[in-house]
Structure 1
């Protein structure tokens, strides 16, 4: 084997249906919510000894053909700004267009529990109720890349749960919903993806190992030791992040702390991370460590049909996009 690429096709919303063309007797009105089949290409690899032989081009061409055969109207791929070869291949040779720049916000999992204010109450929603909540919070008319199989995703064995945080105390008599809330779901990628940090200096490795030893010997000091990230480790991915109300950011931080505390029970999990849009208000509320975060991701999209896309999709970035089916969750 000298080359590899992976592909899958999903049905997702596109943030609204096609609009009817106005006539002399009718006004332009939006049609019912439109779902579209979107392919995701990922994991393109070519052996170093067989590069510059057209293998990558042949793999992408065959993957796109496979996706077209299964009805995909668009294809997406994800890479990083530093991967010039990948960007040149997809945007130059194959005509993909950059359309999203999500940020991966991560933090390590410590041995100690993170605090959750006593004024915040966290509880878990069963999958059917979680699906109903997301359907109300993120209607397909206003949400891009909302998977049509969202209920199945929330009930999947790798979704560890959907959690809601609200402020403690009785609700006001005239309130049908809390004035502030936050919600997110946790995906366990430790069984499908392994990461590893390479190239660290020996002094850094030794320093982090010493902190772990100190933390084990004197846990009362609550040293924020970092797990051994120089060996293969897994991560928990947060998706469906939503918040509302004046206390929403604080409640979302409490949910992130809760997800961290859940991750402590899994020795294979060393990082908790979330993909968010840079202009998403939730981005400011998600705890992160700079060394465990990345703002180099680039998502590109291509219309696989020969006809022009009358809707003009890809559209400008939409804030109300809480369920981003990134390659990290698609695999």
Structure 2
């Protein structure tokens, strides 16, 4: 069984039906007062999964628009079908200003671009072959262009062929990046930390200065990082450094020792929960057995598998960065610290990070290979350009800043 991420776009469109008179499809903006119950029911019916196979399903926490509400510029559209105006489709989008991975040739400052992110596309299983998914995407792109977005991008799994076909063939997106998702189960026992390492929480104002420096050449670093760091879902930013180097650390002045590691923690539980479904009774029993043994003999440090078969949340590590010869060891201990913090949260079952395939920090993040994957595909489109042969990113930056608000 693998811990799989739900693709942001889940629908499974089929080829268009033969020409015939069809009821009208109207796309409009979501109205929380009148649409909430219908959208929640649509989301429930569109759970991903194949009979007899394990799947991971999302349970939005009572607010269908919560996944984009943390952005200043955001929207949610619904598609109504027929004379009864039944809601049969939904899509979400937001606009943010992020780094492009380039620096200005004259000032050497980061080059920022206005980007739209498309997520949460759903179409009712009984209303396919009507072009509803395409209409939702195009309506959302129109809103994005009107609000100044230069590019749009989306994320899905490489195995989600219908999603990729819709965006790459019908909507002219290009496959862009292939990040790696690393997952560490939260065990009943704590992980030991090195005695010669100090871990310190850093105030948001100081973190902002550090992040703007170290991620200035990365892709997708948000210009409103201050807003992200002050969000209630952000549990804090922590730095690991050798105790012998503490005297060289002056965060107010932006001075760090030769070796250090830093990351921030995001709590997903107030936005959505996850649940693994479709596994056998034998798998349930085997996973339970690891937890029982871990509780009975904690000194053995048995790598128990948490109960992911019931509704759970996770901590997301972002802003992961390390410097110096001792950087990898510091990062490993920092990730262990996050794991130990998650143990105190009964609803947190796993710790997750998403990084670029060639990001040096990737090898320093503890994870289970069977729970992790590199099957995510990010697709990009330059808005207003129908048939594009290229985009402005000619070289891939090794570092992708994954914004937790995009989850």
TM-score normalised per structure 1: 0.89
Question: Displacement of 1:170 after TM fit?
Answer: 4.7
3-state SS in 2 of match to 1:197: strand
Determine the C-alpha separation between the residues in 2 that align with 1:8 and 1:71: 12
Number of the residue aligned with 1:285: 364
Q: Separation in 1 of the partners of 2:405 and 2:247?
A: 39
Cα distance in 1 for partners of 2:308, 2:109 equals: 47
Distance 1:310 1:18 in 2: 24
Greater mean alpha carbon deviation, residues 227-236 or residues 85-94: 227-236
Tell me if 1:164 matches 2:250.
no
Residue 222 of structure 1 deviates from its aligned partner by 3.5
d(CA) in 1 for partners of 2:386 and 2:128?
A: 33
Q: Is the 8 A contact 1:121 1:167 kept in 2?
A: yes
Are residue 129 (structure 1) and residue 206 (structure 2) matched?
yes
Find the counterpart in structure 2 of residue 7 from structure 1.
Answer: 93
Equivalent in the alignment of 1:294: 373
Match of 1:208 in 2: 287
- Aligned partner of 2:303 among 224, 230, 244: 224
d(CA) in 1 for partners of 2:370, 2:355: 17
Closer, same or farther in 2 for the Cα pair 1:261/1:32, shift >3 Å?
closer
* 8 A contact 1:301–1:314 mirrored in 2: no
Q: 1:251, 1:315 → 2: CA distance?
A: 33
Alignment match, 2:273: 194
Partner SS, residue 82 of structure 1: coil
Equivalent in the alignment of 2:405: 329
Say which SS state the counterpart of residue 290 (structure 1) adopts.
coil
Aligned counterparts of 1:310 and 1:213: Cα–Cα separation in 2: 56
Q: Distance in 1 between matches of 2:172 and 2:214?
A: 34
Question: Partner of 1:74 in structure 2?
Answer: 151
Q: Whole-Å Cα distance in 1 between the matches of residues 306 and 365 of structure 2?
A: 20
Shift of the 219–32 alpha-carbon distance from structure 1 to 2, 3 Å rule, reads closer
Q: How does 1:16-55 map to 2 (within 5 A)?
A: 16=102, 29=106, 32-55=109-132
- Measure how far apart 1:31 and its partner are: 7.2
Secondary structure at 2:275's aligned position in 1?
coil
Per-residue deviation, residues 66-119 of structure 1 (Å, max 9, x unmatched): 111211110000001100000000000011011110000001011111111001
Alpha-carbon distance in 2 for matches of 1:73, 1:168: 46
Shift of 1:45: 1.1
TM-score by length of 2: 0.73
Question: Is the contact made by 1:120 and 1:167 (CA closer than 8 Å) also made in structure 2?
Answer: yes
Of stretches 206-215 and 255-264 in structure 1, the one that deviates more from structure 2 is 206-215
| Contact 2:314–2:351, Cα closer than 8 Å, also in 1 | yes
- For residues 346 and 102 of structure 2, the distance between their equivalents in structure 1, rounded to whole angstroms, comes to 42
Give the match's secondary structure for 1:194: strand
Match of 1:25 in 2: none
Structure 2 match to 1:314: 393
Whether the 8 Å contact between 2:357 and 2:398 is mirrored in structure 1 is no
Corresponding position of 1:155? 230
Distance apart, 1:231 and its partner CA: 1.2
Question: Structure 1's 222 and 16: CA in aligned 2 closer, same or farther, altered over 3 A?
Answer: closer
Distance 1:215 1:33, change over 3 A: closer
The worse-fitting range, judged by mean Cα deviation, of 212-221 and 143-152 is 212-221
Structure of greater relative contact order (alpha carbons < 8 Å, 6+ residues apart): 1
Unaligned runs of 5+ in 1: 20-28
Deviations 1:246-277 (A, max 9, x none): 11001000010011111111111111010011
Root-mean-square deviation (Å) = 2.3
Q: Secondary structure at the match of 2:256?
A: coil
CA shift digits 1:281-314 (9 cap, x unpaired): 1111101102221110000110013499999423
Structure 2 partner of 1:26: none
- Hey, what does 1:23 align to over in structure 2? none
2:344 alignment partner in structure 1: 265
